[in-house]
Amino acid sequence: MNIIGLMTGTSADALDIALVNIALTADDVLELRLLDAGEIPFGDDLHRDILRLLSPEPVPLSLLSSVDGRLGRFSAHAVQQLLARTGAGCQLIVSHGQTVRHDVDAGAVTSTLQIGQPAWIAEATGIPVLSDVRARDVAAGGQGAPLVGFLDQLLLADAEEPTALLNLGGIANITVVAPGQDPLAFDTGPANALIDLMAARLTDGRADHDHDGALAARGTVDPGLLAALLEDPYYARPAPKSTGKEHFHAAYLDEQLRTHPGVAGADVMATLTALTARTVADACRDHGVRRVIASGGGTRNPVLMDQLRAELGEDTELTTTDAALNLPEGAKEACLMALLGWLSRHGLPGTIPSATGAATATITGRLSPGAEPLQLPPPLTAAPRGLRIVV
Backbone angles phi, psi at 289, to 5 degrees: -70, 135
Annotated domain spans of the chain: 2-148+360-390, 150-325
Neighbouring C-alpha atoms within 13 Å toward the C-beta of 359: 6
Fold (topology level) of 150-325: Nucleotidyltransferase; domain 5 (3.30.420)
pLDDT at 55 over 90: no
* Residue 207 pLDDT greater than 80, yes or no: no
Computed over every residue of the chain, the mean pLDDT equals 95
Task: Provide, for the chain, the percentages of residues in helix, strand and coil under a 3-state DSSP scheme, each rounded to the nearest 5.
Answer: 40, 25, 35
This prediction has a pTM of: 0.93
Instruction: Convert 24-59 to b/e letters by CB count within 10 Å (16 or more is b).
Output: eeeeeebebebeebbeeebeeebeebbbebbeeeee
- With pLDDT > 90 as the criterion, what percentage of the chain qualifies? 92
Q: Is 208's pLDDT higher than 80?
A: no
Q: Are the folds of 2-148+360-390 and 150-325 the same?
A: yes
Report the distance separating Cα 39 and Cα 8, nearest Å.
Answer: 10
Architecture of the domain spanning 2-148+360-390: 2-Layer Sandwich (3.30)
Which H or E element spans position 85? Answer: helix 61-86
